[in-house]
Structure 1
Amino acid sequence: MNKVVTFGEIMLRLAPHGFLRFSQSNSFDVIYGGGESNVAVSLANYGVPVDFVTRLPKNDIGECAMMEMRKRGVNCENIIWGGDRLGIYFLETGAVNRGSKVVYDRQHSAIAEIQPGMIDWEKVFEGSNWFHWTGITPAISQGAADACLEAV
């Protein structure tokens, strides 16, 4: 079976416990995820060989994001390292009539500062027959848009 390649941002999600509001919480649960990384994990759960391609900061938080993917059976050998930070989003889960709330903090994230030529797409696509990315990836920055176009 040929592999699937996914390309996009994995983010750090910080969420208050249960249905607490941001202002009611003194601590946050940590989860790593994002559209393309979630697709990669789902495919791996079905036994499909899958690579996740992104750019992560070379620090403990970037390493944790990569380890989260690896422990779920996703190949991460084509992740590139650089930049200063991982994108973050805060999730306040809705309750009863109160909707959920999301606050994004992704400006200057590692993937937002990606540039064409940083990823060896020929190597990435060896043995693959499907490429998955979403519309949010090229909308992150001009560099991310150019990297998507380069991949396509």
Structure 2
Amino acid sequence: MNKKVVCFGELLLRLSPALNRQWIHDASMPVFVGGAELNVATALARWKVLVEYSTALPDNYLTREICEHLEQQHISTRPVHFSGERIGTYYLPQGTDLKNGGVIYDRAYSSFGMLRPGMIDWDEVLKDARWFHFSAISPALTEQVAAVCREGAAAAAAKGITVSIDLNHRARLWQYGKKPDTIMPSLVEYCDVVMGNIWAANALLGIPVDPEIHLHGSQEDFLAHASRTALALHKQYPKVKTVANTFRFDQGDGGILYYASLDTGGQQYHSTRLVASTIVDKVGSGDCFMAGLIYGLYHGHNPQEVIETAAAAAFGKLMEKGDATRQDMETIKKRISAHG
């Protein structure tokens, strides 16, 4: 029986300077190994799911050390494609998130960004796979990388492998002259599971969104809107069986309100409201949610358990520093019980 989850995307080095010139004075800047799909793979590996990571990296000593590190985390690097000359990086000041203006991308001409259709042997990458996951970050890089993503999703779908996508929208990445809603639909048509939020579905797929809902929306309003978004996705993309939407709102001075919904089988399920007065790091929370979603669906859990697990995992990631979660599943289940 096919059991592996294959996560495909760009491995990135996140350089995280302490501002007010502190990084200059210290002559030091923390470096985190990450990337959306790798964060998903890391969480799944911690939760004892067989996972492989597919990316493109240059053949040098940094790559070898990274691959050794991933293997130690129980992430198979068997499908890594060695090509090109550089690893993509981005700078993110400490205490901010990727949606802030503080992010600086340095990904041009990276090994992953130089991928072209036909370079990856998808039969080999997808060998013994049960699930193929990618995100909207990759197609944002170049039209050629978008074509590679389409190639991979189509190959997985043709083999009967479950295909999932995270509709993470990074407006700063879409710089090659194509609007997201002209690229993404031809990728989502191969997907069984779609995760995102009502605003990303609008920006990436043209699904209607109420532009003023944030001014007056209650939780009930947001959840109703999520159902409308999910219905539109189901109608536009018949292969899509499951749609998850997340809602994360800043509260007070550094606090957060978090909840999520899951639409599947003609019904909606939503998580418990999760509230914290302070958080540690916003980076990777959505990736942790995606991992929780895959984990629950992979194990055949009931929809309510799936959405509670995904939301609790994402909420817990907000309390951790770094790109990928270090939570085990027992910790996540305790959080679900504690929040009722």
Query: Take 1:34 and 1:122, find their aligned partners in 2: how far apart are those partners?
Result: 24
Question: Structure 1 stretch 58-67 or stretch 125-134: which is displaced more?
Answer: 58-67
Which of structures 1 and 2 has the bigger CA Rg? 2
Residue 61 (structure 1) shift: 2.2
What RMSD in Å do the two structures reach over aligned CA positions? 1.8
**Cross-structure match for 2:133:** 132
Question: Structure 1 stretch 131-140 or stretch 121-130: which is displaced more?
Answer: 121-130
For residues 92-140 of structure 1, the C-alpha deviation after alignment (integer angstroms, 9 at most, x for no partner) is 1138xxx783211001110000011111111221211111000011111
For residues 15-46 of structure 1, the C-alpha deviation after alignment (integer angstroms, 9 at most, x for no partner) is 23xxx216321211121101000100111111
Contact 1:22 1:92 (C-alpha < 8 Å) held by counterparts? no
Q: Which has the higher contact order (CA 8 A, sep 6+)?
A: 1
For residues 31-90 of structure 1, the C-alpha deviation after alignment (integer angstroms, 9 at most, x for no partner) is 110100010011111111111000001112222332232121101011011111100111
1:55 pairs with 2:47 = no
**Cross-structure match for 1:147:** 148
**Cross-structure match for 1:104:** 105
Q: What TM-score, normalized by structure 2, do the two folds share?
A: 0.41
Question: Structure 1 stretch 126-135 or stretch 63-72: which is displaced more?
Answer: 63-72
Residue 32 of structure 1 aligns to a residue whose secondary structure is strand
Residue 133 of structure 1 aligns to a residue whose secondary structure is strand
Query: Take 1:100 and 1:141, find their aligned partners in 2: how far apart are those partners?
Result: 21
Letter in 1 for 2:107: R
Pick the aligned partner of 1:23 from 21, 24, 32: 21
Question: Structure 1 stretch 69-78 or stretch 20-29: which is displaced more?
Answer: 20-29
Query: Take 1:93 and 1:59, find their aligned partners in 2: how far apart are those partners?
Result: 29
Query: Take 1:54 and 1:119, find their aligned partners in 2: how far apart are those partners?
Result: 10
Query: Take 1:112 and 1:51, find their aligned partners in 2: how far apart are those partners?
Result: 20
Letter in 2 for 1:82: S
Contact 1:121 1:151 (C-alpha < 8 Å) held by counterparts? yes
Letter in 2 for 1:108: Y
Q: Which blocks of at least 5 consecutive residues in structure 2 are unaligned?
A: 154-340
Letter in 2 for 1:132: H
1:35 pairs with 2:33 = no
Question: Structure 1 residues 123, 27: CA separation in 2 closer, same or farther (over 3 Å shift)?
Answer: same
Query: Take 1:32 and 1:50, find their aligned partners in 2: how far apart are those partners?
Result: 17
State percent identity of aligned pairs. Answer: 37
Question: Structure 1 residues 132, 22: CA separation in 2 closer, same or farther (over 3 Å shift)?
Answer: farther
Write 1 or 2 for the structure with the bigger share of helix: 2
Contact 1:32 1:68 (C-alpha < 8 Å) held by counterparts? no
Query: Take 2:46 and 2:88, find their aligned partners in 1: how far apart are those partners?
Result: 25
**Cross-structure match for 1:75:** 76
Query: Take 2:84 and 2:55, find their aligned partners in 1: how far apart are those partners?
Result: 12
Query: Take 1:38 and 1:57, find their aligned partners in 2: how far apart are those partners?
Result: 20
Residue 105 of structure 2 aligns to a residue whose secondary structure is strand
Aligned structure 1 segments of 4 or more residues deviating by more than 6 angstroms: none
Number of residues paired by the alignment?
146
